[in-house]
Chain A
Amino acid sequence: MVFSVLKYTSLFISLVLLQGLILNNVEFGGYVVPFLYVVFILALPFETPSWLVLVLGFVLGIAIDCFVSTHGMHASATVVMAFCRNYLLKLIAPRGGYDFNSKPNIQFMGLTWYLLYAFILVLFHHLFLFYVESFKITQFFYTFGRAIASTIFTMVLILVVQLFNYKSTTKS
Protein backbone atom coordinates (compact mmCIF):
# COMPACT_ATOMS: atom_id res chain seq x y z
CA MET A 1 0.00 0.00 0.00
CA VAL A 2 2.69 2.47 1.11
CA PHE A 3 4.79 1.39 -1.82
CA SER A 4 2.05 2.05 -4.35
CA VAL A 5 1.27 5.46 -2.81
CA LEU A 6 4.96 6.36 -3.20
CA LYS A 7 4.99 5.02 -6.74
CA TYR A 8 1.97 7.04 -7.84
CA THR A 9 3.22 10.18 -6.08
CA SER A 10 6.51 10.01 -7.96
CA LEU A 11 4.61 9.34 -11.21
CA PHE A 12 2.48 12.41 -10.48
CA ILE A 13 5.47 14.69 -9.84
CA SER A 14 7.46 13.49 -12.82
CA LEU A 15 4.48 13.83 -15.19
CA VAL A 16 3.74 17.37 -13.99
CA LEU A 17 7.39 18.40 -14.43
CA LEU A 18 7.60 16.71 -17.84
CA GLN A 19 4.46 18.48 -19.00
CA GLY A 20 5.26 21.86 -17.49
CA LEU A 21 8.88 22.13 -18.49
CA ILE A 22 9.12 20.20 -21.75
CA LEU A 23 5.88 19.19 -23.44
CA ASN A 24 4.23 22.61 -23.17
CA ASN A 25 6.98 23.89 -25.43
CA VAL A 26 6.33 21.24 -28.08
CA GLU A 27 4.05 22.44 -30.85
CA PHE A 28 3.47 22.26 -34.55
CA GLY A 29 2.55 25.73 -35.80
CA GLY A 30 0.51 26.56 -32.68
CA TYR A 31 -2.00 23.91 -33.70
CA VAL A 32 -1.11 20.66 -31.95
CA VAL A 33 -0.09 20.47 -28.29
CA PRO A 34 0.41 17.10 -26.53
CA PHE A 35 -0.94 16.69 -22.99
CA LEU A 36 0.77 13.56 -21.78
CA TYR A 37 0.03 14.27 -18.10
CA VAL A 38 -3.46 12.73 -18.40
CA VAL A 39 -1.77 9.32 -18.44
CA PHE A 40 -1.73 9.63 -14.64
CA ILE A 41 -5.54 9.30 -14.48
CA LEU A 42 -5.44 6.43 -16.96
CA ALA A 43 -2.84 4.58 -14.88
CA LEU A 44 -4.64 4.66 -11.50
CA PRO A 45 -5.54 1.11 -10.34
CA PHE A 46 -9.06 -0.25 -10.83
CA GLU A 47 -9.77 -0.43 -7.10
CA THR A 48 -9.07 3.30 -6.50
CA PRO A 49 -12.24 4.78 -4.95
CA SER A 50 -14.06 6.92 -7.48
CA TRP A 51 -14.05 10.04 -5.26
CA LEU A 52 -10.27 9.76 -4.96
CA VAL A 53 -9.91 9.68 -8.75
CA LEU A 54 -11.94 12.91 -8.94
CA VAL A 55 -9.84 14.63 -6.27
CA LEU A 56 -6.55 13.46 -7.80
CA GLY A 57 -7.75 14.66 -11.19
CA PHE A 58 -8.52 18.05 -9.75
CA VAL A 59 -5.13 18.34 -8.01
CA LEU A 60 -3.35 17.25 -11.20
CA GLY A 61 -5.18 19.88 -13.22
CA ILE A 62 -4.41 22.63 -10.71
CA ALA A 63 -0.72 21.65 -10.72
CA ILE A 64 -0.59 21.99 -14.51
CA ASP A 65 -2.55 25.25 -14.30
CA CYS A 66 0.07 26.71 -11.96
CA PHE A 67 2.67 26.21 -14.67
CA VAL A 68 0.78 27.93 -17.45
CA SER A 69 -1.34 30.36 -15.34
CA THR A 70 -4.61 29.23 -16.86
CA HIS A 71 -6.50 29.09 -13.53
CA GLY A 72 -8.80 26.08 -13.54
CA MET A 73 -8.80 25.37 -17.26
CA HIS A 74 -6.87 22.10 -17.02
CA ALA A 75 -8.50 21.36 -13.66
CA SER A 76 -11.99 21.38 -15.16
CA ALA A 77 -10.91 19.13 -18.04
CA THR A 78 -9.20 16.57 -15.77
CA VAL A 79 -12.21 16.51 -13.42
CA VAL A 80 -14.48 15.77 -16.38
CA MET A 81 -12.10 13.06 -17.51
CA ALA A 82 -12.00 11.46 -14.04
CA PHE A 83 -15.80 11.55 -13.95
CA CYS A 84 -16.08 9.81 -17.32
CA ARG A 85 -13.50 7.19 -16.34
CA ASN A 86 -15.79 5.90 -13.59
CA TYR A 87 -18.61 5.15 -16.04
CA LEU A 88 -16.39 4.05 -18.90
CA LEU A 89 -14.72 1.40 -16.70
CA LYS A 90 -18.16 -0.04 -15.89
CA LEU A 91 -19.18 0.12 -19.53
CA ILE A 92 -16.22 -1.73 -20.99
CA ALA A 93 -15.59 -4.13 -18.07
CA PRO A 94 -14.77 -7.66 -19.23
CA ARG A 95 -17.21 -10.47 -18.44
CA GLY A 96 -17.01 -11.25 -14.73
CA GLY A 97 -15.44 -7.92 -13.81
CA TYR A 98 -11.80 -6.94 -13.41
CA ASP A 99 -9.34 -9.43 -11.90
CA PHE A 100 -8.11 -8.54 -8.47
CA ASN A 101 -4.48 -7.96 -9.40
CA SER A 102 -4.83 -6.48 -12.88
CA LYS A 103 -4.08 -2.88 -13.79
CA PRO A 104 -5.38 -0.68 -16.59
CA ASN A 105 -2.49 -1.16 -19.02
CA ILE A 106 -1.73 -3.04 -22.22
CA GLN A 107 -0.08 -5.91 -20.44
CA PHE A 108 -3.08 -6.95 -18.34
CA MET A 109 -5.99 -5.82 -20.48
CA GLY A 110 -4.74 -6.22 -24.03
CA LEU A 111 -4.08 -3.68 -26.75
CA THR A 112 -7.66 -3.26 -28.07
CA TRP A 113 -9.13 -2.70 -24.63
CA TYR A 114 -6.44 -0.20 -23.73
CA LEU A 115 -6.71 1.72 -27.00
CA LEU A 116 -10.48 2.05 -26.58
CA TYR A 117 -10.16 3.05 -22.93
CA ALA A 118 -7.37 5.61 -23.47
CA PHE A 119 -8.71 7.07 -26.71
CA ILE A 120 -12.21 7.82 -25.38
CA LEU A 121 -10.92 9.43 -22.18
CA VAL A 122 -8.17 11.45 -23.88
CA LEU A 123 -10.64 12.62 -26.53
CA PHE A 124 -13.11 13.80 -23.86
CA HIS A 125 -10.35 15.59 -22.01
CA HIS A 126 -8.97 17.33 -25.12
CA LEU A 127 -12.37 18.34 -26.51
CA PHE A 128 -13.36 19.82 -23.18
CA LEU A 129 -10.01 21.56 -22.72
CA PHE A 130 -9.86 23.14 -26.18
CA TYR A 131 -13.47 24.31 -26.07
CA VAL A 132 -13.02 25.84 -22.63
CA GLU A 133 -9.87 27.53 -23.90
CA SER A 134 -11.53 29.07 -26.95
CA PHE A 135 -14.78 29.73 -25.06
CA LYS A 136 -16.71 30.65 -28.18
CA ILE A 137 -18.71 28.78 -30.77
CA THR A 138 -17.61 30.77 -33.82
CA GLN A 139 -14.45 28.74 -34.29
CA PHE A 140 -16.20 25.40 -33.80
CA PHE A 141 -14.48 23.40 -36.51
CA TYR A 142 -11.07 24.95 -35.99
CA THR A 143 -11.15 24.04 -32.29
CA PHE A 144 -12.51 20.59 -33.14
CA GLY A 145 -9.60 19.97 -35.49
CA ARG A 146 -7.11 21.11 -32.88
CA ALA A 147 -8.62 18.75 -30.30
CA ILE A 148 -8.60 15.73 -32.65
CA ALA A 149 -5.04 16.34 -33.87
CA SER A 150 -3.74 16.83 -30.33
CA THR A 151 -5.59 13.69 -29.18
CA ILE A 152 -3.81 11.62 -31.80
CA PHE A 153 -0.46 13.08 -30.84
CA THR A 154 -1.08 12.46 -27.13
CA MET A 155 -2.17 8.87 -27.88
CA VAL A 156 1.10 8.20 -29.70
CA LEU A 157 3.05 9.47 -26.68
CA ILE A 158 0.92 7.36 -24.31
CA LEU A 159 1.61 4.23 -26.37
CA VAL A 160 5.33 4.97 -26.34
CA VAL A 161 5.23 5.27 -22.54
CA GLN A 162 3.26 2.02 -22.33
CA LEU A 163 5.82 0.19 -24.44
CA PHE A 164 8.59 1.31 -22.11
CA ASN A 165 6.63 -0.02 -19.14
CA TYR A 166 5.88 -3.26 -20.97
CA LYS A 167 9.51 -4.35 -21.17
CA SER A 168 10.51 -3.46 -17.64
CA THR A 169 7.62 -5.36 -16.06
CA THR A 170 8.04 -8.54 -18.10
CA LYS A 171 11.65 -8.77 -17.01
CA SER A 172 10.97 -8.63 -13.28
Chain B
Amino acid sequence: MRNLIRFLSNNSFLFLFLFLLFVSFFLLVKNNNYQNSKFFNSSNFLIGNLYSTVNNVNDYFNLKEVNAELAKQNSRLQTRQINAFSKVFGNTVSVSDTTYSQKYIYTSAKAINNSTNKRENYITIDKGSLNGIKAGMGVVSAKGVIGTVKNVSENFCSVMSVLHEKNAVSTKIKKSGYIGSLVWELGDYRVAQLKDIPNHVKLTKGDTIITSGYSSVFPEGVIVGRVKSFDLPEGNNFYNIDIELSVDYKNLSHVYVVKSLMKEEQEKLEELNGI
Protein backbone atom coordinates (compact mmCIF):
# COMPACT_ATOMS: atom_id res chain seq x y z
CA MET B 1 0.00 0.00 0.00
CA ARG B 2 2.79 2.39 0.96
CA ASN B 3 4.59 1.55 -2.24
CA LEU B 4 1.50 2.30 -4.22
CA ILE B 5 1.11 5.72 -2.60
CA ARG B 6 4.80 6.47 -3.19
CA PHE B 7 4.42 5.41 -6.80
CA LEU B 8 1.41 7.69 -7.25
CA SER B 9 3.04 10.71 -5.62
CA ASN B 10 6.29 10.26 -7.56
CA ASN B 11 4.42 10.27 -10.81
CA SER B 12 1.74 12.79 -9.88
CA PHE B 13 2.51 14.93 -12.93
CA LEU B 14 2.01 12.02 -15.30
CA PHE B 15 -1.21 10.98 -13.59
CA LEU B 16 -2.63 14.48 -13.61
CA PHE B 17 -1.86 14.61 -17.32
CA LEU B 18 -3.56 11.29 -17.98
CA PHE B 19 -6.53 12.33 -15.87
CA LEU B 20 -7.04 15.63 -17.70
CA LEU B 21 -6.58 13.94 -21.07
CA PHE B 22 -9.14 11.35 -20.06
CA VAL B 23 -11.61 14.06 -19.02
CA SER B 24 -11.24 15.89 -22.32
CA PHE B 25 -11.66 12.72 -24.37
CA PHE B 26 -14.65 11.83 -22.25
CA LEU B 27 -16.23 15.18 -23.15
CA LEU B 28 -15.26 14.70 -26.77
CA VAL B 29 -16.92 11.32 -27.06
CA LYS B 30 -19.91 12.31 -25.02
CA ASN B 31 -20.48 15.13 -27.48
CA ASN B 32 -22.36 12.69 -29.67
CA ASN B 33 -24.94 12.26 -26.97
CA TYR B 34 -26.00 15.84 -27.03
CA GLN B 35 -28.30 16.06 -24.02
CA ASN B 36 -25.43 15.45 -21.63
CA SER B 37 -23.18 18.06 -23.08
CA LYS B 38 -25.69 20.87 -23.24
CA PHE B 39 -23.76 22.90 -20.71
CA PHE B 40 -20.68 23.32 -22.87
CA ASN B 41 -22.70 24.21 -25.90
CA SER B 42 -22.67 27.43 -27.82
CA SER B 43 -26.36 27.66 -27.09
CA ASN B 44 -25.06 28.11 -23.56
CA PHE B 45 -26.75 31.21 -22.21
CA LEU B 46 -23.71 33.38 -21.46
CA ILE B 47 -21.85 32.79 -24.72
CA GLY B 48 -25.09 33.04 -26.65
CA ASN B 49 -25.73 36.49 -25.23
CA LEU B 50 -22.19 37.57 -26.00
CA TYR B 51 -22.58 36.42 -29.58
CA SER B 52 -25.86 38.27 -30.00
CA THR B 53 -24.24 41.50 -28.75
CA VAL B 54 -21.43 41.13 -31.28
CA ASN B 55 -24.01 40.29 -33.91
CA ASN B 56 -25.99 43.45 -33.19
CA VAL B 57 -22.94 45.44 -34.23
CA ASN B 58 -22.24 43.28 -37.28
CA ASP B 59 -25.84 43.62 -38.45
CA TYR B 60 -25.38 47.26 -39.40
CA PHE B 61 -22.88 46.30 -42.06
CA ASN B 62 -25.36 43.97 -43.75
CA LEU B 63 -28.49 46.11 -43.55
CA LYS B 64 -28.50 47.01 -47.20
CA GLU B 65 -28.42 43.48 -48.58
CA VAL B 66 -30.87 42.21 -45.97
CA ASN B 67 -33.36 44.93 -46.88
CA ALA B 68 -33.07 44.11 -50.55
CA GLU B 69 -33.62 40.43 -49.85
CA LEU B 70 -36.65 41.09 -47.65
CA ALA B 71 -38.19 43.44 -50.18
CA LYS B 72 -37.79 40.80 -52.85
CA GLN B 73 -39.47 38.23 -50.66
CA ASN B 74 -42.28 40.63 -49.77
CA SER B 75 -43.02 41.20 -53.41
CA ARG B 76 -43.08 37.49 -54.06
CA LEU B 77 -45.53 36.98 -51.20
CA GLN B 78 -47.70 39.87 -52.35
CA THR B 79 -48.13 38.26 -55.72
CA ARG B 80 -49.44 35.13 -54.05
CA GLN B 81 -52.10 36.93 -52.02
CA ILE B 82 -55.68 36.30 -52.92
CA ASN B 83 -56.31 39.88 -54.04
CA ALA B 84 -53.54 39.53 -56.56
CA PHE B 85 -55.65 37.00 -58.46
CA SER B 86 -58.71 37.73 -60.54
CA LYS B 87 -61.64 35.42 -61.01
CA VAL B 88 -61.65 33.70 -64.36
CA PHE B 89 -64.83 31.60 -64.04
CA GLY B 90 -67.83 33.10 -62.24
CA ASN B 91 -68.79 31.64 -58.91
CA THR B 92 -68.39 28.00 -59.83
CA VAL B 93 -65.61 27.21 -57.37
CA SER B 94 -66.12 27.77 -53.67
CA VAL B 95 -63.13 27.49 -51.39
CA SER B 96 -63.94 25.46 -48.33
CA ASP B 97 -61.79 25.60 -45.20
CA THR B 98 -61.49 21.87 -44.90
CA THR B 99 -59.94 21.40 -48.32
CA TYR B 100 -56.64 22.82 -47.15
CA SER B 101 -55.28 22.20 -43.69
CA GLN B 102 -52.18 23.87 -42.44
CA LYS B 103 -49.19 21.56 -42.64
CA TYR B 104 -46.18 23.78 -41.92
CA ILE B 105 -45.72 26.77 -39.62
CA TYR B 106 -42.81 29.19 -40.12
CA THR B 107 -41.11 31.02 -37.27
CA SER B 108 -38.73 33.78 -38.31
CA ALA B 109 -35.36 33.92 -36.57
CA LYS B 110 -31.93 35.37 -36.98
CA ALA B 111 -28.58 33.64 -37.33
CA ILE B 112 -26.21 35.01 -34.69
CA ASN B 113 -23.23 32.72 -35.13
CA ASN B 114 -22.05 30.60 -38.00
CA SER B 115 -19.12 28.59 -39.27
CA THR B 116 -18.19 27.20 -42.68
CA ASN B 117 -14.60 26.06 -42.23
CA LYS B 118 -14.98 22.88 -40.19
CA ARG B 119 -16.03 19.33 -40.95
CA GLU B 120 -19.11 19.81 -38.82
CA ASN B 121 -20.54 23.27 -39.16
CA TYR B 122 -23.23 24.68 -36.90
CA ILE B 123 -25.31 27.85 -36.97
CA THR B 124 -26.64 29.41 -33.77
CA ILE B 125 -29.98 31.20 -34.09
CA ASP B 126 -31.81 33.45 -31.66
CA LYS B 127 -35.01 31.43 -31.05
CA GLY B 128 -35.24 28.60 -28.55
CA SER B 129 -37.61 26.38 -26.62
CA LEU B 130 -39.51 29.46 -25.37
CA ASN B 131 -40.52 30.07 -28.98
CA GLY B 132 -41.58 26.47 -29.47
CA ILE B 133 -38.46 25.30 -31.29
CA LYS B 134 -37.70 21.60 -30.92
CA ALA B 135 -34.78 19.44 -32.02
CA GLY B 136 -35.33 17.95 -35.48
CA MET B 137 -37.15 20.89 -37.06
CA GLY B 138 -35.95 22.19 -40.41
CA VAL B 139 -34.47 25.63 -41.04
CA VAL B 140 -34.79 27.44 -44.37
CA SER B 141 -34.16 30.96 -45.65
CA ALA B 142 -35.57 32.93 -48.54
CA LYS B 143 -32.75 31.54 -50.67
CA GLY B 144 -33.02 27.86 -49.76
CA VAL B 145 -32.36 25.10 -47.26
CA ILE B 146 -30.18 25.89 -44.22
CA GLY B 147 -30.17 22.82 -41.94
CA THR B 148 -31.79 20.91 -39.09
CA VAL B 149 -32.14 22.02 -35.45
CA LYS B 150 -29.92 19.92 -33.19
CA ASN B 151 -29.64 21.44 -29.70
CA VAL B 152 -32.15 23.78 -28.08
CA SER B 153 -31.81 26.00 -25.01
CA GLU B 154 -34.35 28.48 -23.69
CA ASN B 155 -33.45 31.38 -25.95
CA PHE B 156 -31.16 29.93 -28.59
CA CYS B 157 -30.76 26.84 -30.66
CA SER B 158 -27.93 25.44 -32.72
CA VAL B 159 -28.61 24.20 -36.21
CA MET B 160 -26.71 21.43 -37.95
CA SER B 161 -25.96 23.12 -41.24
CA VAL B 162 -26.11 21.46 -44.66
CA LEU B 163 -22.32 21.90 -44.45
CA HIS B 164 -22.04 19.09 -41.91
CA GLU B 165 -20.43 15.78 -42.73
CA LYS B 166 -23.23 13.79 -41.16
CA ASN B 167 -26.18 15.77 -42.45
CA ALA B 168 -28.04 14.39 -45.47
CA VAL B 169 -31.02 16.19 -47.00
CA SER B 170 -33.57 14.26 -49.03
CA THR B 171 -33.81 16.08 -52.37
CA LYS B 172 -35.12 15.53 -55.87
CA ILE B 173 -34.43 16.75 -59.35
CA LYS B 174 -37.26 19.16 -60.16
CA LYS B 175 -37.50 18.22 -63.83
CA SER B 176 -37.53 14.42 -63.61
CA GLY B 177 -38.58 13.87 -59.98
CA TYR B 178 -35.77 11.40 -59.13
CA ILE B 179 -34.90 11.28 -55.44
CA GLY B 180 -31.33 11.57 -54.16
CA SER B 181 -29.65 12.58 -50.96
CA LEU B 182 -27.56 15.71 -50.69
CA VAL B 183 -24.35 15.47 -48.66
CA TRP B 184 -21.43 17.80 -48.19
CA GLU B 185 -17.80 16.77 -48.19
CA LEU B 186 -15.16 18.99 -46.65
CA GLY B 187 -13.83 21.73 -48.89
CA ASP B 188 -15.74 24.36 -50.82
CA TYR B 189 -18.67 25.76 -48.85
CA ARG B 190 -20.59 26.56 -52.04
CA VAL B 191 -20.61 23.03 -53.49
CA ALA B 192 -22.29 19.86 -52.21
CA GLN B 193 -22.72 16.39 -53.71
CA LEU B 194 -25.88 14.63 -54.79
CA LYS B 195 -25.88 10.83 -54.33
CA ASP B 196 -28.05 7.92 -55.45
CA ILE B 197 -29.11 9.23 -58.87
CA PRO B 198 -29.10 6.14 -61.16
CA ASN B 199 -27.26 6.22 -64.49
CA HIS B 200 -30.33 6.13 -66.74
CA VAL B 201 -31.59 9.52 -65.60
CA LYS B 202 -31.07 12.34 -68.10
CA LEU B 203 -29.22 15.23 -66.54
CA THR B 204 -28.23 18.64 -67.82
CA LYS B 205 -26.09 21.36 -66.30
CA GLY B 206 -28.22 23.85 -64.40
CA ASP B 207 -31.02 21.44 -63.45
CA THR B 208 -32.78 22.70 -60.33
CA ILE B 209 -32.58 20.57 -57.17
CA ILE B 210 -35.39 20.95 -54.61
CA THR B 211 -36.32 19.23 -51.35
CA SER B 212 -38.41 16.09 -51.71
CA GLY B 213 -40.64 16.60 -48.66
CA TYR B 214 -40.35 12.88 -47.88
CA SER B 215 -38.97 13.26 -44.37
CA SER B 216 -41.38 16.14 -43.67
CA VAL B 217 -38.56 18.10 -42.04
CA PHE B 218 -38.67 20.49 -44.98
CA PRO B 219 -41.74 21.28 -47.08
CA GLU B 220 -41.62 19.95 -50.60
CA GLY B 221 -40.10 22.21 -53.23
CA VAL B 222 -37.70 24.38 -51.24
CA ILE B 223 -34.82 25.21 -53.55
CA VAL B 224 -31.46 23.62 -52.74
CA GLY B 225 -29.24 24.43 -55.70
CA ARG B 226 -28.37 23.73 -59.30
CA VAL B 227 -26.36 21.00 -60.99
CA LYS B 228 -22.87 22.39 -61.49
CA SER B 229 -21.19 19.39 -63.07
CA PHE B 230 -21.68 15.62 -63.22
CA ASP B 231 -19.89 12.53 -64.45
CA LEU B 232 -20.53 8.83 -64.64
CA PRO B 233 -17.51 6.71 -63.62
CA GLU B 234 -17.11 3.60 -65.79
CA GLY B 235 -18.86 0.54 -64.38
CA ASN B 236 -20.78 2.59 -61.86
CA ASN B 237 -24.53 2.66 -61.54
CA PHE B 238 -24.76 6.08 -59.96
CA TYR B 239 -23.71 9.54 -61.04
CA ASN B 240 -21.21 11.77 -59.23
CA ILE B 241 -23.00 15.12 -59.19
CA ASP B 242 -21.73 18.46 -57.87
CA ILE B 243 -24.45 20.85 -56.77
CA GLU B 244 -23.93 24.57 -56.57
CA LEU B 245 -25.82 25.53 -53.39
CA SER B 246 -28.27 28.38 -53.68
CA VAL B 247 -27.61 29.66 -50.15
CA ASP B 248 -24.42 31.55 -49.37
CA TYR B 249 -23.62 30.09 -45.96
CA LYS B 250 -21.11 32.81 -45.24
CA ASN B 251 -23.79 35.46 -45.44
CA LEU B 252 -26.76 34.33 -43.36
CA SER B 253 -29.04 36.52 -41.32
CA HIS B 254 -32.83 36.05 -41.51
CA VAL B 255 -33.97 32.43 -41.49
CA TYR B 256 -37.23 30.56 -40.86
CA VAL B 257 -37.66 27.56 -38.59
CA VAL B 258 -40.19 25.16 -40.12
CA LYS B 259 -42.52 23.28 -37.82
CA SER B 260 -44.32 20.39 -39.43
CA LEU B 261 -47.75 19.75 -37.91
CA MET B 262 -48.09 16.31 -39.44
CA LYS B 263 -44.59 14.99 -38.83
CA GLU B 264 -45.51 12.97 -35.75
CA GLU B 265 -48.48 11.42 -37.45
CA GLN B 266 -46.36 10.42 -40.44
CA GLU B 267 -43.60 8.99 -38.30
CA LYS B 268 -46.05 7.04 -36.18
CA LEU B 269 -47.60 5.50 -39.25
CA GLU B 270 -44.24 4.61 -40.75
CA GLU B 271 -43.07 3.09 -37.48
CA LEU B 272 -45.84 0.51 -37.79
CA ASN B 273 -44.10 -0.93 -40.83
CA GLY B 274 -40.87 -1.35 -38.94
CA ILE B 275 -42.31 -3.70 -36.33
- B-binding residues in A (CB < 8 A): 21, 24, 27, 29-30, 33, 50-51, 54-55, 57-58, 61-62, 65-73, 75-76, 79-80, 82-83, 86, 132-134
Contact = CB atoms under 8 A, between A and B. Distances in A.
Interface string B29-66: 01100000100111110010000001000000000000
A67 B47 contact: yes
A79 B40 contact: no
B65 to A, nearest CB: 18
Given A51-B16, A54-B16, A76-B21, A71 B117 contact: no
Contacts, number: 83
Contacts of A61: 24
Contact of B117 (A27, A62, A66, A76): A27
Query: A61, A69, A73 — which one has the most chain B CB atoms within 10 A of its CB?
Result: A69
20 contacts: A29-B188, A30-B116, A30-B187, A55-B16, A55-B20, A58-B20, A62-B40, A66-B47, A67-B47, A68-B115, A71-B28, A71-B31, A71-B37, A72-B23, A73-B24, A73-B28, A75-B23, A79-B21, A83-B17, A133-B118
Given A58-B20, A72-B23, A79-B20, 16 more contacts: A24-B115, A30-B186, A54-B20, A57-B20, A58-B23, A67-B47, A68-B42, A69-B43, A69-B122, A71-B27, A71-B31, A71-B37, A72-B26, A72-B27, A75-B23, A76-B24
A72 B17 contact: no
Contacts of B25: 72, 76
A155 B250 CA distance: 27
Interface in B182-231: 186-189
Interface string B85-108: 000000000000000000000000
B12 interface: yes
Given A33-B117, A132-B28, A71 B20 contact: no
Given A72-B27, A83-B17, A66 B115 contact: no
Interface residues of B, number: 33
Q: Ordered nearest first, which 10 A-B pairs have the shortest CB separation?
A: A72-B27, A76-B24, A75-B24, A71-B31, A72-B24, A72-B28, A69-B42, A30-B117, A27-B117, A79-B20
Contacts of A58: 20, 23-24
Nearest to A31: B117
A75 B16 contact: no
Contacts of B28: 70-73, 76, 132
Contact of A79 (B17, B44, B116, B122): B17
Contacts of B24: 58, 61-62, 72-73, 75-76, 79
Nearest to A61: B24
Nearest to A75: B24
B7 interface: no
Contacts of A80: 21
Given A76-B25, A134-B119, A71 B17 contact: no
B214 to A, nearest CB: 29
